């Protein structure tokens, strides 16, 4: 059944959402696990076109929110003493259709004698390596419910971090497209009318108007080629990064040195890698395996290469902090990890580092937006103002005969 809910989070902010579960109590338990205060939980009546809606749901890929909710359900039911087969059977019938099909396949694999982690590993498109590694450690330690709960919490934090970055990039992208649209309108509609008007009058144009028309002509000739070249470079860069590991490392390392944007990319990569390492170590995964799994799941290939190198050093008996001493990892990571190794609280220290760089990422994003808005406004205003100046100078030249 479909459940609509409202709740207050830890900061008092109102949250709303919908969940598809067999029992509204599961939604209440999930909200309480998050530390939220339920305000309203009610059943939503099925709509006449529910079959069409379910068909469309099957086409939608499994989102991070679907996976997090599923992990929370598993953790809650396992802690209540429900067997893993019953847990899977219950959640398979109450969630996202695609995710339900995957969970049913996992249940069948377990019935065939496979471990839970191995069954999840067969569906790497849904359950990533860090999830599988944490579940494997939870099975071996007998703390599977606790590990799943921690997994859900960490994935929620990771999703919020990703959402912050995407949300911060939407506004600059829209404004940039609008600026390109303004320039295109001026070049293709407004300025050609200037030229036609002056050619009919047989009047010589003022200097500013001549500069404007010359610039517009250059943009009309070379603008499309410049845009095509930029698009082609982006496509080629993406393909090279995808199919060449060495090139991907060089590209990611270069991107982290770009002013403003590079700091954002570095903070996001460091926060994600520290969070993944902390989660895996807290779940009972060995340090070399945690480094290897994090390197495979992190998106930044420059940092992933450093984690692979650090793994080899750790296997040979070197401390973790020594492998993290060199760039692209910040110096702070080396210093704090060294303290964590000496104190025996490495997972907690890594979690603090993740939170620190997540906060720094938020600060950098706000700073970037504060710098971007006035810059774009000045550029667009300057372009429009230059056109008006050229227009009025041309009018005055005609009036003076």
Q: Domains of the chain: which residue ranges?
A: 2-156, 161-401
Owner of token pair 């059977």: 89
- How open is the CA angle 174-180-182, to the nearest 5 degrees? 105
Has domain 161-401 been given CATH number 1.20.81.30? yes
* DSSP code, position 203: P
Nearest to 140 by CA among 242, 283, 243: 283
SS3 assignment, position 159: helix
The answer to whether the beta carbons of residues 311 and 288 sit under 8 Å apart is: yes
Owner of token pair 């929110």: 65
What's the pLDDT at 95?
60
Please give the Cα distance from 32 to 108 (Å, whole number): 31
What's the pLDDT at 20?
58
The answer to whether the beta carbons of residues 27 and 41 sit under 8 Å apart is: yes
Residues in CB range of 339: below 8 A, 6 or more apart: 349
What number does CATH give the domain 2-156? 1.20.81.30
Please give the Cα distance from 360 to 260 (Å, whole number): 13
What's the pLDDT at 49?
44
- For residues 89, 149, 357 and 164, what is the CA-based torsion angle, rounded to 10 degrees? 40
Cis amide prior to 6 (ω within 30 degrees): no
Beta strand pairing call for 14-20 and 2-8: antiparallel
The answer to whether the beta carbons of residues 92 and 119 sit under 8 Å apart is: no
Nearest to 17 by CA among 92, 54, 68: 68
What's the pLDDT at 188?
78
Nearest to 66 by CA among 153, 3, 126: 126
What's the pLDDT at 24?
67
Nearest to 269 by CA among 255, 280, 285: 255
Please tell me if the domain spanning 2-156 has the same topology as the one spanning 161-401: yes
Residue-wise burial string across 175-192, b where 16 or more C-beta atoms lie within 10 A, e elsewhere:
beeeeeeebeebbeeebe
Render each residue's pLDDT in the chain as its tens digit; 401 residues: 566 777 777 666 667 766 655 566 667 777 777 777 776 676 665 444 444 444 444 556 677 778 888 888 888 888 888 888 888 888 777 666 778 888 888 888 888 888 888 888 888 888 888 788 888 888 877 788 888 888 888 788 778 877 877 777 787 778 778 877 877 787 777 777 777 777 777 667 778 878 877 887 888 888 889 889 999 998 998 888 888 888 888 988 898 888 888 888 898 889 888 988 888 888 888 899 889 888 888 888 899 999 999 999 999 988 998 888 888 889 899 899 999 888 888 888 998 998 899 889 888 888 888 887 788 778 878 877 887 887 788 778 777 75
Please give the Cα distance from 276 to 279 (Å, whole number): 5
What's the pLDDT at 38?
72
Strand order in the sheet with 37-44: 14-20, 2-8, 37-44
What's the pLDDT at 356?
92
């Amino acid at each position: 059944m479909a459940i609509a809910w409202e709740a207050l989070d830890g900061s008092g902010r109102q949250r709303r959402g919908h969940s598809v579960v067999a029992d509204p109590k599961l939604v209440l338990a999930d909200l309480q696990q998050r530390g939220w205060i339920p305000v309203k939980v009610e059943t939503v009546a099925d709509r006449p076109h529910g079959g069409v809606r379910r068909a469309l749901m099957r086409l939608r890929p499994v989102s991070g929110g679907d996976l997090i909710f599923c992990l929370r359900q598993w953790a809650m039911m396992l802690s209540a003493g429900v067997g893993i087969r019953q847990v899977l059977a219950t959640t398979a019938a109450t969630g996202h259709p695609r995710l339900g099909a995957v969970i049913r396949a996992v249940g069948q694999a377990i019935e065939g004698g496979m471990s839970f982690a191995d069954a999840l590993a067969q569906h790497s498109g849904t359950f990533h390596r860090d999830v599988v590694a944490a579940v494997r450690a939870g099975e071996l330690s007998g703390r599977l419910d606790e590990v799943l709960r921690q997994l859900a919490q960490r994935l929620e934090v990771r999703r919020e971090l990703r959402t912050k970055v995407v949300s911060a990039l939407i506004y600059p992208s829209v404004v940039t497209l609008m600026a390109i649209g303004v320039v295109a309108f001026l070049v293709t509609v407004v300025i050609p009318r200037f030229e036609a008007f002056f050619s009919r009058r047989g009047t010589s144009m003022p200097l500013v108007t001549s500069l404007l028309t010359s610039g517009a002509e250059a943009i009309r000739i070379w603008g499309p080629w410049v845009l095509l070249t930029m698009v082609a470079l982006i496509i080629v860069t993406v393909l090279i990064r995808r199919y060449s590991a060495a090139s991907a490392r060089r590209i990611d390392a270069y991107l982290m040195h770009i002013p403003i944007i590079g700091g954002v990319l570095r903070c996001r990569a460091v926060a994600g890698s520290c969070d993944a390492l902390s989660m895996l170590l807290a779940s009972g995964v060995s340090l070399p395996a945690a480094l290897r799994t994090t390197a495979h799941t992190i998106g930044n290939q420059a940092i992933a290469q450093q984690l692979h190198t650090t793994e080899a050093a750790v296997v040979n008996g070197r401390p973790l902090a020594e492998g993290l001493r060199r760039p692209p990892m910040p110096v702070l990571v080396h210093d704090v990890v060294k303290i964590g190794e000496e104190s025996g609280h490495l997972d907690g220290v890594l979690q603090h580092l993740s939170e620190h760089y997540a906060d720094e990422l938020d600060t950098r994003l706000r700073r970037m937006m504060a710098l971007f808005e006035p810059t774009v406004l000045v550029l667009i205003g300057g372009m429009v103002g230059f056109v008006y100046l050229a227009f009025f100078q041309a009018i005055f030249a005609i009036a003076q005969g």
